[in-house]
Amino acid sequence: MQFQKIKFTFCKIHNMKNLFYLLCIVSYSIFSQETQQTKFYGKEHFLIEGTIVAEHLKESPYDRLPASYKELVRTPVWDLSKSSAGLSIRFLTNTSNLKVKWEVLNNFSMDHMPDTGIKGVDLYLRNGQEWQYINTGRPQGLINEYTLIENMKEEMREFKIFLPLYDGVKNIEIGIDSASNIIKPPKNKRKPIIFYGTSITQGGCASRPGMVHTNIISRKLDVDVVNFGFSGNGRMEKPIAEIISSVEPSLYIIECMPNMIKPEFISERTIPLVNTLREKNPNTPIIFVDLFKSPITLLNSKVKSENEAMDDALKAEFEKMIENGYKNIYFIKTPKPANSDHEGTVDSIHFTDLGFLRYADFLISQFRTLGLLANLN
């Protein structure tokens, strides 16, 4: 119960009947405060977005791969797939107060990324045609509860909560006023965008979940974006190619270059990846992104030379595909999309919020230039 200051006004009470009425009013006010309770609702009452895998095929609703993939992918990929990067929940409610309870898998921490990005949650409000940031649920451990917003007018609003980027979610519940309603909205009818990539794709090192470029693009284009970023393990592997080809997206974005290790891997895996995607989706645009330009390459000639060799290998594979009649294949060269002033990273590799915002805007501008935004419908 939250006690509020009561301002007493001394006045003349003419009779006992007036005194009785006054006591009733004060008692009702205090009783209303005492009985204002929060009721929590689970996954049956909100829409889980950012996934292409049916819930009954997963170990957890907030996993990114089916349970059957545990035996098909390397152990690091499987472990990383338990992180809820790119997933969100969406709902409508007329509550005046909104809380969230969530339990993470590992209570994981890193020395170059805030806990709010690793295992926190982000609340957004649909404000007209845009998604507006409201607040972040700050994690305290494995089990967390946080008041995201209070004292709202009681009217129906649509909210979205982005889930942790580098930890998994065992359970999440939405808390609203006990007398309020919560509604599960219909699915977004637009075809999703699918990203396959590395630690940057997964969200390293955004300060909060809403600031990874995949989630920024999702909000700006009002489209479901599915994040298959695997830190250190985005290597154009066949099992991942097969799962992302199981649906028809509007676009494929392949951001695997930082994890390809050496040019030979690029030469061996690029065209087989495309062939796997093309078996079920012969016309869906596939966009390859070259290596992000690290500020280190300004001074480190060895890294610069290695990066150039990697980019040359990808460009060579791209040109082979064009020569052999492959359609709707694109190559995006990133001229410092996050580092035009060398201020877009936390460690010369992984993006800050500034870097992610710049990169998201860069990709959207490339989609528009290439005439690909029409594919979203």
What pLDDT is attached to residue 4?
41
User: Quick check: 84 and 167 in contact, CB under 8 A?
Assistant: yes
| Mean of pLDDT over the chain | 91
Average pLDDT on 275-283 reads: 97
286-289 and 329-332 as β-strands: parallel, antiparallel, unpaired?
A: parallel
What global pTM score does this model have?
0.90
Residue 19 has pLDDT above 60, yes or no: no
- 226 close to 194: Cβ distance less than 8 angstroms: yes
pLDDT, one tens digit per residue, over 198-238 is 999 999 999 999 999 999 999 999 999 999 999 999 999 99
> How large is the C-alpha radius of gyration of the chain?
25
Residue 174 CB partners (closer than 8 Å, separation 6+): 40, 41, 45, 46, 89, 91, 93, 98, 99, 100, 161, 182
pLDDT digits (tens, 9 = 90+) for 137-167: 999 999 999 999 999 999 999 999 999 999 9
Which H/E stretch holds residue 27? Answer: helix 16-34
Instruction: Kindly provide the b/e burial profile for residues 319-355, where b requires at least 16 CB atoms within 10 angstroms of the residue's own CB.
Output: eebeeeeeebbbbbebeebbbeeeebbbeebbbbbbb
What pLDDT score does 334 carry? 85
Domain boundaries, given as residue ranges, for the chain: 39-183, 193-376
* pLDDT at 28 exceeding the cut of 50: no
The CATH number of 193-376 is 3.40.50.1110
Q: Quick one: which of 320, 201, 321, 214 has its CA closest to 257?
A: 201
> Would you give the end-to-end CA distance of the chain in angstroms?
49
| Alpha-carbon gap, residue 211 to 198, rounded angstroms | 16
Superfamily of domain 39-183: Galactose-binding domain-like (2.60.120.260)
Residue carrying the six token digits 């006591």: 23
For residues 17, 22, 28, 30, the Cα torsion angle rounded to the nearest 10 degrees is -140
| In the predicted structure, residue 30 carries a pLDDT above the cut 70 | no
**At 234, which amino acid appears?**
G
pLDDT tens, residue by residue, 241-260? 999 999 999 999 999 999 99
Alpha carbons 321 and 36: distance in angstroms, whole number: 63
- Asked if the model's pLDDT at residue 20 lies above 50, the reply is no
Give me 106's structure tokens. 């590992």
